[in-house]
Amino acid sequence: MKKSTMNKLLVALVATGVVAAAQAADIKIGVAEALTGGAAQYGIAIRNGFELAAEQINAAGGVNGNKLQLVIEDEQGKKDEAINVFKKLIFENKVLMVFGPTLSNSAQAADPIAQASKTVAFGTSNTADGITSIGNYVFRNSVTEADVLPETIKVAAKHTGLKKVAIMYGNDDVFTKSGYDNFKKALADLKIPVTATETFSKGDVDFKAQLTKIKATHPDALVLSALIAEGAPIMVQAHQVGLNVPFIGGNGMNSVKVFDLAKGNSDNLWVGSPWSIDNQTPENQQFTAAYKAKFKMAPDQFAAQAYDAMHIAVQAMKQVKFTGNLQAERTALRDALPAIKWTGATGPFAFREAKGRGGKPAGYDALQKPIISVTKDGHYTIEK
């Protein structure tokens, strides 16, 4: 082909956008969340947050001209399924990074897959101790229970005047057991006596025996480390046995689903989170309005954290040179993430390095202040 003919062809290709399209590429992002099963109470909101963020980012030009492509898989809130999904996303779909999984239990099982393959695993709802100690490719923007629970108890005690409490926790889940450990430490540090400690398991539906024992000890509040599937029925049955006291919950209880599941028994639940729908920052107002417009419902903490996580990751992606060498791109993303700072729906955010296992490099936790809220008349109200 003559040079002049080649030049004419190139001009034509540029004019039609073919060359530009060839230069741009989709950045495949794995999303492993519980979209069915009990943990879908959180996972669906998380997926929504990612979809809203990706849609807005792509509409604004993507990442240096490259579009985000979400590859979404249902890990069902199960450890084995989370492992399978991580393997599929990393090795078959060849994603740049993986968001998820939803539960801390699943993260403990699946995140080592990402670490071994040198692929970023970014949790937006895992708050149990030890997740980020798995390795230096493990990140999360969900504030740990160890950071949130002491402040939740302090604020609840200030407003309710509680002097002693009882505790209920799930004894077969990494998250709820970690929550119990952190609640127990915080109560000891604050010198608040525990009148009784009762346990339950995932899938339990009758809690009246434990609640009746707790009632006999006359606590001023019930500290509850539970996922919403068990936590909401516990609130209902507590009132049924005449245990009418405030509830102090962990991250698993901070969901608008409590108003549907506990109905008229959902008042006086104290929770902590970096996010509240009542937080009137411009970033949160914009997020809330966009979420309501797209999904015809109010967002929750989990949607907000996913939304912000996508934006945090994109700031790091903007520093990555996409050359087609996937492993180099994965490593470059990991190297860029720790220094990222972002102010979004959940407020100002930065990472802090976690403690590794056996002296090995660790991942990164969230550095954010919690907002303490209490439920009343079907919504959360901020308290200080």
Domains annotated for the chain, with CATH where assigned, are 27-143+279-368 (3.40.50.2300), 146-273 (3.40.50.2300)
Question: Per-residue pLDDT for 21 more than 50?
Answer: no
CA distances from 217 to 105, 168, 195, 196, 243 (A): 32, 13, 6, 7, 11
pLDDT at 358: 77
Question: Per-residue pLDDT for 11 more than 60?
Answer: no
pTM: 0.89
Q: Look at residue 168 and give its three-state secondary structure.
A: strand
pLDDT at 10: 42
Segment 345-356 shows an average pLDDT of 95
Mean pLDDT of the chain: 93
List the end-to-end C-alpha distance of the chain, in Å, as a whole number: 75
pLDDT at 23: 52
Q: How far apart are CA 85 and CA 272, in angstroms?
A: 30
How does strand 341-344 pair with strand 97-99? unpaired
Q: How far apart are CA 115 and CA 134, in angstroms?
A: 7
pLDDT at 355: 86
pLDDT at 341: 98
Q: How far apart are CA 58 and CA 77, in angstroms?
A: 29
Paired with 364 in beta bridges are: 139, 353
* Better pLDDT: 306 or 6: 306
pLDDT at 12: 46
Question: Per-residue pLDDT for 18 more than 60?
Answer: no
Note whether 46 and 306 are within 8 A (CB): yes
Q: Give pairs for 350-356: CB < 8 Å, separation 24+.
A: 351/139, 354/132, 354/133, 355/133, 356/133, 356/135, 356/136
pLDDT at 357: 78
> Hey, what amino acid is at 219?
P
CB burial class (10 A; 0-12, 13-18, 19+) of residue 34?
buried
Q: How far apart are CA 152 and CA 248, in angstroms?
A: 7
Least confident of 2-6, 249-253, 273-277, 299-303: 2-6
Going by C-alpha positions, the residue among 174, 108, 167 that lies closest to residue 145 is 174
Report pLDDT digits (tens) over 173-204. 999 999 999 999 999 999 999 999 999 999 99
**Most distant CA pair in the chain, distance:** 94
Q: What is the DSSP string of 272-287?
A: EES--TT---HHHHHH
Question: Per-residue pLDDT for 17 more than 90?
Answer: no
Segment 45-57 shows an average pLDDT of 98
Least confident of 3-17, 81-95, 364-378: 3-17
In 159-258 the beta strands, taken as DSSP E runs, fall at: 165-170, 194-200, 221-225, 247-249
Q: How far apart are CA 180 and CA 187, in angstroms?
A: 10
Q: How far apart are CA 150 and CA 381, in angstroms?
A: 19
Segment 286-293 shows an average pLDDT of 98
pLDDT at 15: 46
Report pLDDT digits (tens) over 82-129. 999 999 999 999 999 999 999 999 999 999 999 999 999 999 999 999
Note whether 34 and 101 are within 8 A (CB): yes
Segment 1-21 shows an average pLDDT of 45
Q: Look at residue 186 and give its three-state secondary structure.
A: helix
